[in-house]
Amino acid sequence: MSARLGVNIDHVATLRQARGEAYPSVVDAAQVVLEAGAEQITIHLREDRRHIQDYDVPAVKLVTERYGVPLNLEMGNNEEILDVAINVKPEWICLVPEKREERTTEGGLNLKDKNQYEKVHQLCTKIRKYLPETKISLFVEADTDILQKCVELNVDAVEIHTGDYAMAFNRGEATDSFLKNYTDAYKLIKAAGMGFHAGHGITLENLGPLVKQNLFEEYNIGHWIICQSVFDGLANTVSKLKASLN
């Protein structure tokens, strides 16, 4: 069985917000990626609303419902965002650490920290109470102690932060230790009957060794897809404009 592809369309909203325009449409983006074979849409409603806006969440959910695929909502520990989730009822919620000043999510939840563990525990309890059908994944590093905390929290899946692996690969550095950690993490998580997902920094090239390992059941990929789409679409778009000018 091939792994599922979840496409993170946050960066379409980043382009829209940069100009305060109504385009590019996040709803159209969801439809295009699902037509192309994606099996899930992932969006991150951040506290600072820098890309996805509250109104995007129900709009994208209508598209995923039409295609019969899950909506995976990434969120930090925030009551207002939990309210949005409660209204929209995504199939998955992926809990991530969130700092306002970071450029993107910079690593997984540090569940070794008692305070953070307790906050995640409370948030999981609320999600289970208000969204009993929604599955929960935790965005974490492939660290045995942290993964054991995920098992304790009895969530449905972990999403392993692959950002550091991806950066090492892109720089041509050794990645063996990351791949070994993923194998160990897989064994621990599968023994607990949980899902094993991956996300962050993945490109077509650095995806290769991960796919070869055949451990991850799901990949959530965003930034590289949108970046590559610029070059896959640029010539075509300029040709269209030229045709119109002519």
For residues 87 and 73, is the Cβ–Cβ distance under 8 A? no
Identity of the residue, 42 or 131, whose beta carbon is nearer to ligand PXP in the bound complex: 42
State phi, psi for 192 to the nearest 5 degrees: -90, 0
| Residue of 11, 44, 161, 197 with catalytic role | 44
CA-closest candidate to residue 104, choices 59, 44, 61, 146: 44
The footprint of ligand PXP on residues 103-132 (CB under 6 A) is: 104-105
Strand partners, 227: none
By the rule CB under 6 A, 221 interacts with ligand PXP: yes
Cα gap 3→55, rounded to integer Å? 30
- 74 included as an active-site residue: yes
Q: Which listed range, 62-70, 124-132, 215-223, 233-241, lies at the site for ligand PXP (CB under 6 A)?
A: 215-223
Identity of the residue, 139 or 169, whose beta carbon is nearer to ligand PXP in the bound complex: 139
Binding-site size for ligand PXP (CB under 6 A) equals: 19
- Residue number of the CB closest to ligand PXP reads 199
Task: Out of 56, 74, 141, 218, name the contact with ligand PXP by CB under 6 A.
Answer: 74
Identity of the residue, 181 or 203, whose beta carbon is nearer to ligand PXP in the bound complex: 203
State phi, psi for 6 to the nearest 5 degrees: -100, 125
The footprint of ligand PXP on residues 39-58 (CB under 6 A) is: 44
Distance of CA 8 to the CA centre of its chain: 6
By the rule CB under 6 A, 7 interacts with ligand PXP: no
Q: Which listed range, 14-22, 77-85, 121-129, 222-230, lies at the site for ligand PXP (CB under 6 A)?
A: 222-230
- 161 included as an active-site residue: no
Cβ 195 to ligand PXP, closest distance in Å? Answer: 14
Q: What is the phi-psi region of residue 214: left when phi exceeds 0, alpha when psi lies from -120 to 50, beta otherwise?
A: left
Residues 6+ apart with CB under 8 A from 31: 63, 67
Task: Out of 139, 165, 186, 196, name the contact with ligand PXP by CB under 6 A.
Answer: 139
Cα torsion through 101, 105, 120, 79, rounded to 10: 60
- 223 included as an active-site residue: no
CA-closest candidate to residue 29, choices 5, 11, 51: 11
Give me 109's structure tokens: 């939840």
Cβ 207 to ligand PXP, closest distance in Å? Answer: 10
Interacting residue ranges for ligand PXP, rule: CB under 6 A = 8, 10, 44, 74, 94, 96, 104-105, 139, 159, 199-202, 220-224
Give catalytic residue positions. Answer: 44, 74, 200
